[in-house]
Amino acid sequence: MKRRELILGFGCAIASWRAVRAWAQQPGRVHRLGSLFSAPRDAPHHLALRGDLRRAGFIEGENFTLDERGFGLSGAEFAVHATELSLVPTST
């Protein structure tokens, strides 16, 4: 691949990422994040996820909510909670 094509490819990728990021953070909108996890809410990888969301501009309780019931699920609870999540109406 030529150097110019590589630089152009990176430029397009960055431009499209910025466009998606700008669209995803509409002011005044509260995003809901459903969850299906067997690990508890305070597991290190969940803390890291919330930290990354915070750095991306999503503040829990202000512009997004995280489903509290989806943490620490047993195998049998996964299907039940997944069905409940799919039945929750979404606002557009």
- Rounded to an integer, what distance in angstroms lies between the CA atom of residue 30 and that of residue 24? 11
- Residues with Cβ within 8 Å of 41's Cβ and at least 6 positions away in sequence, in order, are 68, 71, 72
pLDDT at 20 (0 to 100): 53
Ordered by start, the domain boundaries in the chain are 28-87
3-state secondary structure of 1: coil
pLDDT band per the 50, 70, 90 thresholds, residue 50: confident
How do beta strands 31-33 and 64-66 pair?
Answer: parallel
pTM (predicted TM-score) = 0.55
pLDDT band per the 50, 70, 90 thresholds, residue 55: very high
